[in-house]
Structure formats: C-alpha cells, structure tokens
A and B are shown apart, each in its own frame.
Chain A
Amino acid sequence: DGGITQSPKYLFRKEGQNVTLSCEQNLNHDAMYWYRQDPGQGLRLIYYSQIVNDFQKGDIAEGYSVSREKKESFPLTVTSAQKNPTAFYLCASSIVGGSSYNEQFFGPGTRLTVL
C-alpha cells in the first residue's frame, strides 16, 4: 500500500532537548511538507521541500529544522529554540507541477508534548 508514515505517534520531550520526528512516503512524490496543528487553529506550514537537498521555510519555521537527503524521507527536528513546541505535527506529500490543485496526502501525525 502506498502512503505516508510518521513516527513516533506520541513523543514526550523535556525542556531544552532537541527531538526528531520521522516522515517517510512511498508515493514517489517530489514535494513534502510539515505542518503544525494547534487546537482551534488551522494547519500552519513549517517547512516544505520540492526536491531532494532543497527546502524552504514556511510561515512558522523558527525553532525547527529539516533535511531532505532522500526523496522518501523528510525528518523534522524540533529544537530547544522552539518556545512552545507542544502540538500535533502532520507530514504531507504531493506531486510537483503547474496545477494549482495538486492534492496533498497526509500522514497520521505525531503528538509532541513538552514535560
């Protein structure tokens, strides 16, 4: 089955620690995205990547970092510089092209809690 996997499902972090969230896709999509979801708000874009070894900041990139060494993988690191990291994190992927309506496919999410 093609899809997107995220791990872990739940993650707990102590103050001052960096943590890395995994995202893998086998849809052969070029583009991958990381979103943050907080209660009562829509999704906010953290980072996105359209091609291997290249990525761009989204609206709320401060305190986060990413890498794109492989087409299938787009890990997100939440650093200690992120002041309020407790949230639900969603990874997505899509094809890249001229159409304005390329569907994004989502993983099941990782819930991060800072203790």
Chain B
Amino acid sequence: AQSVTQLDSHVSVSEGTPVLLRCNYSSSYSPSLFWYVQHPNKGLQLLLKYTSAATLVKGINGFEAEFKKSETSFHLTKPSAHMSDAAEYFCVVSDQVDSNYQLIWGAGTKLIIKP
C-alpha cells in the first residue's frame, strides 16, 4: 500500500523569501503524485501533478515540485512567497484499489507568511 508523509505540520516564511514544503512517499511502483492547496474553510484546488512525463513539474501560482525517485520525495517549492500563499498544502499519492485509483493524503502542512 502507498503512503505519504509530510515532514512539517507548519512552515513559516517571510513574504518574498523561498518556500519549501517537504513530502516523502512510499510506493512499490512508479507513483502518481499531487499537491493540493486549501485556503481556510474552502475546498481543495489542484496545484500540480506528477505523471512521469518530467521530473520537474510546474504548477499554478508559481509553485513547482521535483520528483526524486532515489529519495522517494516530491517537495513543493516557490522562489518567492506571497501573502496569498498562506494556506494548507496536501501531498497526495494515487493508489490502485481494484480497478480504480484512490488518493492517499498526507496530513497537511500549514504555510504561514509573515509580512
């Protein structure tokens, strides 16, 4: 079975500085990986997804993530944080159950942006 671990429950950065949100996964085969973002009391929005086409994946709002098989990691980065980036971020791996795929969710990382 797949699993995903987000290494930090909270990350605090100053506006204009880089963001790094860490995610490790366990998988017995080549996984599909996602990052979702959730703003307070809202639903979730897909930031980006890894589909094995390229190891560096670019998403919306300037975020990107790099798939590193040797490290079983899929960390999310952004060069310069903006106040609007304050939200909770979830790393997700897709697992096959019978003939369908289900999503296995990390516990989330709350990103705090200091002015």
Residues of chain A having any CB pair with chain B under 8 Å: 4, 31, 40-45, 48, 50, 58, 88, 90, 92, 96, 99-104, 106-109, 111
For the complex, give the distance between the alpha carbons of A19 and B101 in Å.
29
A-B contact pairs, 22 of them (CB 8 A): A31-B100, A40-B9, A42-B92, A42-B108, A43-B90, A43-B105, A44-B105, A48-B102, A88-B41, A90-B43, A92-B44, A101-B32, A101-B50, A101-B94, A101-B101, A104-B46, A106-B45, A108-B42, A108-B43, A109-B41, A109-B42, A109-B43
Pick the 10 closest A-B CB pairs, nearest first: A42-B105, A106-B43, A101-B32, A100-B32, A106-B44, A43-B105, A108-B43, A100-B94, A42-B107, A100-B101
- Minimum CB distance partner of B50 in chain A: A101
Residue with the highest number of chain B CB atoms closer than 10 Å, among A88, A92, A99, A106: A106
Question: In the docked arrangement, what's the CA distance between A9 and B105, Å?
Answer: 23
A30 to B32, CA, bound (A): 21
Q: Interface size of B by Cβ–Cβ distance < 8 Å?
A: 25
Q: Given the complex, which residues of B lie within 8 Å of A88, measured CB to CB?
A: 41
Using CB atoms and an 8 Å cutoff, list the residues of chain B in contact with chain A: 9, 31-32, 34, 41-46, 49-51, 90, 92, 94, 96, 100-103, 105-108
Contact in complex: B9, A107 (CB < 8 Å): no
User: B9 to chain A: which residues have CB within 8 Å?
Assistant: 40
With a cutoff of 8 Å between Cβ atoms, the chain B residues found around residue A48 in the complex are 100, 102
Query: Given the known A-B contacts A101-B51, A101-B94, are A42 and B106 also in contact in the complex, defined by CB atoms under 8 Å?
Result: yes
On whether the beta carbons of A42 and B90 are closer than 8 Å, the reply is: yes
List the A side residues contacting B103 at CB < 8 Å.
43, 45, 104
Note all chain A residues with C-beta closer than 8 A to B50. 101
Known A-B contacts A106-B44, A109-B42; A40 and B108 likewise in contact (beta carbons under 8 Å): yes
